[in-house]
């Protein structure tokens, strides 16, 4: 039987962390403000074997994750979170891994940024030994299903995961707990023009708009259509209707052009049939392939004498 996706239990399920969490507060890194201690209770006298240990890590020794999918940080939201941290402390530890004498963020960049904004010197953290691939996966899992992570950021993050670790889209879908079709659509979005990507980044267009626009060829027309959709506040359905109207108009124009070409070609063929028929004195039919470059000529004859007369007119020598 297929194992259930761990993402369904949240990031804690994926990481394998369940309460209680043991707290370790080194004296040299202990928080200076008593309010910071409130959310991380003092360690109990007894500790269960294998309980994860939370350490207080200097904020200055933490570096951002290279796999962070979020490219746009909301400064106002960070400031609000910082005010909350000043009042109640960091309620949930971040996750880091040691790297070159520093600590690289894996999960919790917003908490780290807000803690730094709040002016605190340390932050509670779980220090994990993680491979590059697992670190990337955990960073994605924390962010990829957040409602405020825009589709372009999701798409680029999923694409980076697939390309860096040579994963198929099915592999990526399984890793982050999304449907394969969702992963495919998000990764396809990274091929869209930069002008349209910017509209999606700003929230003026959504994933549905992007999917609809991917259904037409790239180029200026697609960009202009996206800009019209953003400026006029089109819904996805309205954009799809506009795309259908354009496609129908092009199809009609192509059909009209094709009919005109066929009519012109038939006129030429008919003239050739008339000229040959006048010269040979019999009925002639010319048929061509769809390209009009290859075909055959059929002529009628009514008896051997008529046939020999046709051969003479065509210049076929007698034996």
User: Which active-site residues does the annotation give?
Assistant: 109
Helix ranges, the chain (H): 10-15, 34-37, 75-88, 109-117, 132-144, 151-164, 169-176, 180-188, 194-201, 207-213, 220-232, 236-280, 304-313
Residue 188 has a CB neighbour count (10 Å cut-off) of: 15
**DSSP conformation letters of 193-216:** -HHHHHHHHTTSS-HHHHHHHTTS
Dihedral angle, C-alpha 239, 240, 246, 251, nearest 10 °: 170
Chain CA centroid to CA 156, Å? 7
Give Cβ neighbours of residue 249 (< 8 Å, ≥ 6 apart).
Answer: none
Give the span between the Cα atoms of 162 and 184, in whole angstroms. Answer: 11
Note whether 105 and 63 are within 8 A (CB): yes
The C-alpha atoms of residue 264 and residue 261 are separated, in whole angstroms, by 5
């Amino acid at each position: 039987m297929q194992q259930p996706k761990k993402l369904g239990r949240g990031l804690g399920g994926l990481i394998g962390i369940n309460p209680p969490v043991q707290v370790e507060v080194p004296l040299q890194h202990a928080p200076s403000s008593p309010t910071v201690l409130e959310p991380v209770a003092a360690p109990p006298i007894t500790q269960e074997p294998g309980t994860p240990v939370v350490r207080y890590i200097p904020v200055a020794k933490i570096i951002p994750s290279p796999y962070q999918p979020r490219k746009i940080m909301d400064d106002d939201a960070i400031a609000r979170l910082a005010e909350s941290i000043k009042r109640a402390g960091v309620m949930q530890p971040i996750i880091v891994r040691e790297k070159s004498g520093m600590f690289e963020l894996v999960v919790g960049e917003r908490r780290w940024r807000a803690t730094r904004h709040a002016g605190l010197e340390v932050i509670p953290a779980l220090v994990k030994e993680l491979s590059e691939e697992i670190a990337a996966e955990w960073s994605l899992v924390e962010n990829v299903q957040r409602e405020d992570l825009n589709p372009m950021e999701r798409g680029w993050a999923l694409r980076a995961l697939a390309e860096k670790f040579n994963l198929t889209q099915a592999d990526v879908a399984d890793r982050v707990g999304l449907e394969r079709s969702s992963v495919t659509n998000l990764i396809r979005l990274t091929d869209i023009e930069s002008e349209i990507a910017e509209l999606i980044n700003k929230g003026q267009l959504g994933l549905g708009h992007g999917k609809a626009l991917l259904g037409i060829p790239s180029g200026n027309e697609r960009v202009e259509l996206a800009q019209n959709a953003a400026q006029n506040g089109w819904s996805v359905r309205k954009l799809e209707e506009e795309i259908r109207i354009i496609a129908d108009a092009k199809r009609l124009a192509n059909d009209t052009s094709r009919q005109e070409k066929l009519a012109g070609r038939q006129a030429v063929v008919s003239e050739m049939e008339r000229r040959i028929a006048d010269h040979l004195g019999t009925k002639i039919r010319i048929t061509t392939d769809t390209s009009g470059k290859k075909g055959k000529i059929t002529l009628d004859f009514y008896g051997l004498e008529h046939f020999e007369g046709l051969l003479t007119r065509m210049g076929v020598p007698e034996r």
